[in-house]
Structure 1
Amino acid sequence: MVLVAPEKTGQALELMLVEDSLLDARLTIESLRRCGIHHRLSLFRDGAEAIEFLYKRGVFSLAPVPDVILLDLFLPDTDGVSFLRQLRTDGKLMHLPVVVLTSSDDGSDQRQCEELGVSSYIRKPFNEDKFLSVIRRLKGLSLSIESAVS
């Protein structure tokens, strides 16, 4: 796991990036840095470790709950669709917004993800403007939920 710390003070958008390709992770992280959204990012290279983080097991006992999960489909150990299925069957985690970032051009992958309630399905290499507009929209939803709870 790698944490990318926010550069500004205040409430950061908690992002969880589950991506095994360091090149793709770097491109995603650079896009997020350029967008100006105050965020903190946790990077996981496989689905199994990401699940440990979400369930706050072991070294992740103090892990923050992510506001948005950025999920690749092709992962070692636990693939993205299996990860998503597990997430959607857990009452405490099923509400988390998930943005799928994938190189898959298989229509059945997209249908499965849509059936599992992803917030967005974006093919890599992604259009940065589209990606950032999705993140901005989800950040707005996250802030609305926090205000309602406070």
Structure 2
Amino acid sequence: MEHLKDPNAVISECYRLLKEDGLIVILVQNIRSFEFKLGKENWFHLDLPFHLFQFTEEGMVRVLQKKGFKIRKVKRFHLEYSPFGWLQTLLNLSKIQFNLFYDLLKSGSLKKNKKGKINLKGVLATLLLLPIYFPLALLFSALEPIIFKRGGIIQIYASKETI
């Protein structure tokens, strides 16, 4: 949804195509999360300029209901995205190199900086911080939905009602 030029049109089209009693599952980042409040421009899920839209749980629920969907369930934790989002945000806040760990995992190799060099100090700092930040990321991603009723990721299950 965050990568689309017109998410509203896509939601309308999903409603049109979905069978009666069909289910749609939407997973998006949540700009009202504590993770965002802490990370701000360092928030992993902000992902500018690739994320054209930022969402809130309330806004996404409202759009889905306006399009005719009935909200079945909202989850504020996703095993793949929530802990990693916190982890990379914490690393980004350390000002090592933005999304260095993510880039390493995604590409399987180290990217060179503008000067054509690999940031070995950044890699070393990341490796040293992982044993500290990983447990914190697990803890924060598990507790944020419980304490704040929010999460960096929202997963909404909505159905097309039978008339």
Q: For CA contacts below 8 A with separation 6 or more, give which structure has more relative contact order.
A: 2
In the superposition, the TM-score normalised over structure 1's length comes to 0.30
Higher strand share: 1
In the superposition, the TM-score normalised over structure 2's length comes to 0.28
Between Structure 1 and Structure 2, whose CA radius of gyration is higher? 2
